[in-house]
Structure formats: C-alpha cells, structure tokens
Structure 1
C-alpha cells in the first residue's frame, strides 16, 4: 500500500509531466499541403524540378496528384471500325442465298438456278462498285492529308494534355488533367516562358495570401488562389482538422529567399516552379480551449508551382518538399 505522501508525490509528478507536454507541444507540419508534395505540374508532374540555390537538393516526388504517368494529349485518331461493305454485303449475300434457296431455289429447276446465277451476278457488280468507291475515297484522303500530319508532336488544346483542364473541376484527371482517346502516346509540345519581376512579386504575394486564407479556413479564397485540385486538398486538410477539434494558424509569413527552378508552356497554359525559403509562425490550436496542440517549424523550404492562362493571374498548382 502506498502512503498518502507517496501518492501525492506521484500525482504531482504526473501533473508536472502533463503540463510540460502541453507547453512543449510536438513539432508538426500543419501548414498548407500538410508538409507533403501534392498537386500537378502538367507534363512535368513526375519529373523532379531543377535544383536551385534556394533548394539545391532533389524535390520529393508527388504523394498526391490527379495526373497519371505517361499522360499526353488525347490522340484524335480515327477509330478502327468495321470496314464499309463488310457486314452490309454479308447480309445481302445471306439474304440472297436464303431467298434463292427458300424461294424458287434449286427445287424450281432451271428457273431457280437462273435466278440464283442472276443474284450472284448482281452481287458481284455491287462488290466491284463498292471496292472502286473505297479505293477512290482512300486516294482522295491521302491527297488531302496536310503536310506534317503524323508528326511526333501534337498541338495541345486548352483542356488537353496531362494536366487536362487545370482550372476546371477537380477529380482524377479531371485533371490534372485527361486520358487516352486513342492512338499512341505523344510527347507534349513545350515552349520556354519568360518570368519577370512582376511575376516574382505575384508568387510572393500568393505565398502570403494562400497561407492567410488557409489559416482563416477561407475555402472561397483558396479556390480563387489555387487550382481546383489544390483547393480540394486544402479543404480535405481543413475538414480533417475540424474532425480533430483543432485549427491551424499560420502567420508572420515572410519570404527570405527565392529563385526560379523552371518555367515552360503547354498549349495555352504557362507554368513556373519557384523554390522559396520563408519564415512563418505555424501553430495548431484546440478549437475549444485555444491551447497550443502542435507547433510547426519556424522556416520552410518548398517548391511551389504556379499556372496561368492568357489574361488570367497566376494560381497555385503544386507544392513540393525538398528531399
């Protein structure tokens, strides 16, 4: 049996440990993206971004994305359907033979045989006419085929390619983006994109605005600042926080260093991946007591990919951690 003095000492020790654990909250990555690599980078989703002075190491591969490896422009290849005249002529032949056999047929003597021979002659003439028409249309299509058709690169339309409709509704390759409609996969035609001072200012502004919208659980704001895919991931994280009874507060975000990793265009979309090292205050609070539950690191180095369309501002498309 423990004496009352020993019981009081053990109780005091337990309370002291509990208080210490409450004050020294565990460090966790609770900022937007959950400290993981999520989103899509068009046809470069599964390629590591180029190293920079800010992020000299290799970027971690995507853990969550709506893109799929090897996805390219949907091939608008003609479907290999049944050849013209195949089933149609077989039907005529079958119907003619059945009619000849069940009608006047062979039992009708010479009249039936003559009818059958006449039918075969008609079928032969029709087959010749159809074969001639098929060859004529084939030669005509070959003559009208534009120069360069069948080249290894396909022009990418606005909503085609591995990031199919990056501004559109989210969903497994709703996105980020498409699927094969036929034909063989083709490399996506890419082009260089020039990034200027105004673009870097937009990236820095988006860094702060997205963190602020996430901290205030502003789902409408997040949808305006990110692709539907990224906004969907953010909303899932916010819902998970609500289920745990906590809220993530990110404040005092300040960009310390940043540089461009790569920039390119696909179809009408333009992409830019930027390495950023920034300071922040990242805490997770209990919704009822407002007590600190988790504390995030005071600095982060991440690669953010932004996308835009002509006449529209940059929005967030992906976040990647450094490996």
Structure 2
C-alpha cells in the first residue's frame, strides 16, 4: 500500500512539473505569444493582410483602450439602419390625381374618365409625362458622367486578399536578415536585385501608407525587433521602457515578474529578420502609427534561474515566428513598440 502511494506521489509531482514547463513554453518570447497593446483608433480593427502575413492577425487580447464591441463607431463602418418615414413618390401622386379626377367626373355626371376628357386624354397625358421623365433622366446621367473623376487603372489599385490589401505582383516583400530586412528590403535595394534606392521607395504602391514611411523608418522597425528581444532576454527593464510605450513596457515587465516567480529565465538569441512588409501607416493628430508584418528566426529557450540549465526549448534550434508589430511615434520622436499581434 505504501509503495502504491509513493508511486502515485511521484506521478503527481511529474505531472505538476510538466504543467509548469508547459505554462512556461506557452508564454515564451516577448509578449508570451499573445496579442496585446494599442493601435490607437484601430486597436480592434484587423490590420490589412500582407505577403508576409496573408492570414488574418489575431485580435488584441489586452489593451488599455476599451473594446466597445461591434457597436463602436469605426471609420468606414456603415451607419445602422434607421426606419424612414413612408414617402409618396411620383407614381403614387400621379395615380392619386388620376383617380381624383375620375371621381370628380363621376360626381358631375361625365363618367369616371370624363374629368380628364376621356380615355384618349389620359393616354395622351401619360405619354407626355413619360417623354418628360426620359428627357430629365437622360440629362441627369449626362451631367453625372461629366462630373465623375477619372479613376486609376487596375495596376494602381489594391489587390485584395483575405480582407486586406496585398501589393500588386510588381512589388516584392523584403527578405534577408539584419543587413537586408525591413531597412534593406523596403527602404533600399535588396542586394541590388531591385535597383537603386530611389526606385525601391516606390516598389509597393498598394500599401496603405498615409504618412510616407522611408528607409530610416524601416531600419528603426528592424532595430526595434532585435533590441526588444535582447532586452527581454537580459531582463533589462530600463531598456524595455525606452523601446516600448508605457503600456507595452508594463505588460512585458509583468511577464518578467512571472518568470522570476517561477524561477526561470527566457533566453532569446539568434534573432534574424527573414521577411517583412508594411501593413498600414496612419496619423492620429500628432501621433504616427505603423503596423509591420515580420517573419523572423529566433532561438527560444527557458532556463533555470539558479543553475542555468535548459528546462524547455532547444538551444541549437532556430524557430521561425510571424508577428505584426505596431510602432508609435509621438510628435516626430522615435518609434516605440505599441502593440504585438500574432499572425
């Protein structure tokens, strides 16, 4: 009986340890593989799909901006249907007039059609009215066509995919790593394959860029990705508060505190940007936002805080992750991470 109890105790301990390790693995990497932060007025609006992240991004799970649900008014959202009062149009007014004239004719002894001079008069009146309606309709269409703007051809429009905007086939996503990632793929020539720097800035005309993202911005985005992972791995809280908004830095610091309570350290290394592209960029007052889809390689392990022993992950394996990072810039300052969403 004692042997059975001892064996059961060992099994329970093993299960508890497995659950702890599973919890650590599920929350590994910056953000704990969750979607959190703020994207201004577009926090709960899915960012447009890109070639790097063609699937819909995971919705924001934690944010200081309240989610008011589907009834929240968003740009481009049609107004709810409101019952309109009943209107009587041209046809109902005409028939009412004809019917009234017929009744008057009957009252004065001229028959139902006597009020309008007989059936021939009715058909003559209808014919005249029809001609007038046709002339007015033709004139309105002619003036409307003259006032319509000339629209761009299909090569300058959006290529729709998964509910978002994907650049035309002429644009290429960036590839490479720290030397040819966001800054090198979109802001400069990709190893000379796409031509000079001046031509590369126009490589993706279909992107929803309302503020004009340039080479220095793409380089800042890539640098933010690498420095955030490094600061998180070193548990450098001061650096995290420099790289992220106060909201994001607070969330990430909570994760570090949880790791410390469990006695583990999340070590991240070999961060390399493989591909990425801009999803959208916009301005709200004096604040600029830019959401970038990034696919990057990373070595993600969990180690014991006391001994340094690897308790989860493979230190010799480089995993690949795809996330959408939103950066915020206040009054022309530096870009800071304001949201991370899983692709």
TM-score scaled to structure 2, two decimals? 0.51
Deviations 1:43-97 (A, max 9, x none): 000000000000000000111110013489xxxxxxxxxxxxxxxxxxxxxxxxx
Q: Match for residue 277 of structure 1?
A: 295
Q: What is the CA-CA distance between 1:33 and the residue it aligns to? A: 0.4
Q: Match for residue 40 of structure 1?
A: 38
Equivalent pair of 1:273/1:304 in contact (CA under 8 Å) = yes
Deviations 1:151-191 (A, max 9, x none): xxxxxxxxxxxxxxxxxxxxxxxxxxxxxxxxxxxxxxxx9
* Unaligned stretches of 5+ residues in structure 1: 2-9, 73-190
Q: Match for residue 313 of structure 1?
A: 334
Q: Match for residue 196 of structure 1?
A: 214
Deviations 1:272-301 (A, max 9, x none): 000000001111101112111222871110
Q: 1:300 to 1:29 in 2, by over 3 A?
A: farther
Q: Match for residue 54 of structure 2?
A: 56
SS of the residue aligned with 1:307? Answer: strand
Aligned counterparts of 2:336 and 2:65: Cα–Cα separation in 1: 17
Alignment of 1:53-202 (within 5 A): 53-69=51-67, 70=72, 192-202=210-220
Q: What is the CA-CA distance between 1:267 and the residue it aligns to? A: 0.4
**Residue 262, structure 1, aligned to residue 262, structure 2:** no
How many residues align? The count is 192
Q: What is the CA-CA distance between 1:29 and the residue it aligns to? A: 4.4
Aligned counterparts of 2:320 and 2:27: Cα–Cα separation in 1: 11
Deviations 1:105-155 (A, max 9, x none): xxxxxxxxxxxxxxxxxxxxxxxxxxxxxxxxxxxxxxxxxxxxxxxxxxx
**Residue 239, structure 1, aligned to residue 257, structure 2:** yes
Q: Match for residue 214 of structure 1?
A: 232
SS of the residue aligned with 1:43? Answer: helix
Q: What is the CA-CA distance between 1:311 and the residue it aligns to? A: 3.3
Q: Match for residue 116 of structure 2?
A: none
**Residue 301, structure 1, aligned to residue 322, structure 2:** yes
SS of the residue aligned with 2:45? Answer: coil
Aligned counterparts of 1:264 and 1:234: Cα–Cα separation in 2: 25
Of 282, 287, 308, the match for 1:290: 308
Q: What is the CA-CA distance between 1:310 and the residue it aligns to? A: 2.5
Give the alignment's Cα RMSD to 1 decimal: 3.0
Q: What is the CA-CA distance between 1:28 and the residue it aligns to? A: 3.7
Equivalent pair of 1:28/1:295 in contact (CA under 8 Å) = no
Q: What is the CA-CA distance between 1:221 and the residue it aligns to? A: 0.4
Higher relative contact order (CA 8 A, sep 6+): 1
